[in-house]
Chain A
């Protein structure tokens, strides 16, 4: 069995190489850009960071947001559907969104010897299939993650199906299936995507309850979007009610599906050009596998709460100032049946993206996480901070090949044991979107 898997992985790799390195005619870009003969930069500042047009594209059920001129009535989504180019396979499938990275990392932890590692790896290889059913307002979207962090473990990360209605100025959608909590939601500062290789700490760091924001539970999702003329103002609200993942985002395959509910709310306001504010609220009650101080494992069901506000302001179409704040309040239990106390964290970040010319940007970000566990097991307030600087550049006119260099420096103490640790990392990566 193992050898079959190994063979298959090797086989896939060869296929990937053939596709990636064979000479490709001028227009080899993922399906959405291909569909409309547009550049990636129509919807992304630098892929995968979305701009307002990319955001609207998703909210209209994967239809191109039309011009909203003051003097003209906004077309209904059904009219947009009629104008769509003919459905075709290449307009709806992206073979590979692959990211090759080299990273060198030095990690220290109190009481252990420092370790340095470096690796060249396939950081990500994902395939996408998404689009609309011809002549209808039904849309679908799926993401198949083949390799993540150098490990090949094919997983269907997202698969959902929905319907969008209304008109371009006032629209709504409903969809259901497996989908990411935050990807492609929120204004710029609240996006999971960043020009830097990692998202802000508040989205990436695993809480001591093992909860990560970066997960894709199963559920339903509904949203309403309102846009003014010239998209000067866009207001949007989204709610998701989901069920199906453990606290750490893993799928529930075992017997403990009793407790796994999420409610997620997102309110966005975009202000042209490219500025905005987002409010995010999350509540979950999920099974969490916890290890007590003696090493025994037990399961408890903490309440998990997150509230965040995020904002960005883009100056002169060049300098994007971003900031975010998130508060968490999770239940915390040290031993089975023991006292229920809380894990509380306040996380904030500030960042600057400077777009020197189209397709070239330098970025810097500062993150700080203040974390505390209350009750008898408390080791007091601990904090972690992280500096990251980087540069991103597109290598093709359409913007489908993106290179990045980044350096980050993290230092802090963990809130459970107060052990100090540092992590310095250099990363270079190239992303191909075909």
Chain B
């Protein structure tokens, strides 16, 4: 009987302590919430070929964290590539290389879109065509192979391509696949206007 009494007292003290402690933890928690970045995604406005990639992204990249966590960073195409690869190597991640590619397609598109919405930062002329061309350049993953001002892939610098090649030559280079080249053709549904945008952007690369 005596022992039981002691036990009860100990339990009560433990309980009171715990409730107090949890209360404090809870209150504290109210003031230390992580601030989420505001990320808006308008799926209806997306091009048709991006839609499936978007759904893949929404399904696979919101499994462990909110999509806001995935999108809050501004990253280059090559950075996204390694980030998606890193996520694929997490325990319990359930997507394969093909799905990763599809997700990357969306991420590059989204990144380009947001870059487009932001104010122009570099010395390119502010004409809309150039802006869109620049956006397409990263959305199509050109920077996986090419570098501009030292940034991007290692298969060839495009610095100065605007002086090296003419408008016609550039259009030709993009539209007609050259035999034996590793450079992929543009997607079949790329419009003439979009090609024009890309070329307008490439023509601004007068560099070194």
Contacts and interface: CB of A to CB of B under 8 A. Distances in A.
A1 B92 contact: no
Contacts of A88: 28, 32
Interface string A224-248: 0001011100100000000000000
B92 A52 contact: yes
Contacts of A231: 89-92
A297 to B, nearest CB: 20
Interface string A264-299: 000000001110000000000000000000000000
A69 interface: yes
A88 B29 CA distance: 9
A51 B30 contact: no
B145 interface: no
Contact of A127 (B22, B36, B88): B22
Given A42-B64, A96-B22, A25 B92 contact: no
Contacts of A89: 24-25, 28-29
A88 B30 CA distance: 13
A133 interface: no
A146 interface: yes
Interface stretch (B6-14, B44-52, B152-160): B6-14
Interface string B35-77: 0100000000000000000000001001111100100000000
A68 interface: yes
Nearest to A397: B66
B98 interface: no
A17 interface: no
Contact of A25 (B23, B30, B62): B30
A51 B26 CA distance: 27
B33 interface: yes
Describe B's contact surface by its main secondary structure. helix
B171 interface: no
A88 B19 CA distance: 18
A351 B170 CA distance: 61
Interface centre among A26, A55, A66, A89 (most CB of B within 10 A): A89
B109 to A, nearest CB: 23
B124 interface: no
Interface residues of B, number: 40
B87 interface: yes
Interface in B77-121: 85-94
A96 B18 CA distance: 11
A25 B27 CA distance: 12
Contacts of A26: 33, 36
Interface stretch (A32-40, A210-218, A326-334, A370-378): A32-40
Interface in A92-109: 93, 95-96
A230 B65 contact: no
Interface centre among A154, A234, A274 (most CB of B within 10 A): A154
Nearest to A50: B92
Contacts of B165: none
B90 A93 contact: no
A19 interface: yes
A5 B64 contact: no
8 contacts: A4-B12, A27-B33, A42-B65, A67-B87, A69-B89, A96-B22, A154-B11, A273-B94
Given A19-B23, A230-B89, A274-B94, 19 more contacts: A5-B12, A12-B15, A27-B33, A39-B63, A42-B64, A53-B90, A67-B90, A69-B85, A69-B86, A88-B28, A89-B25, A90-B32, A93-B21, A95-B23, A144-B18, A229-B89, A230-B88, A230-B93, A231-B89
Interface of B: 3, 5, 8, 11-12, 14-16, 18-19, 21-26, 28-30, 32-34, 36, 59, 62-66, 69, 85-94
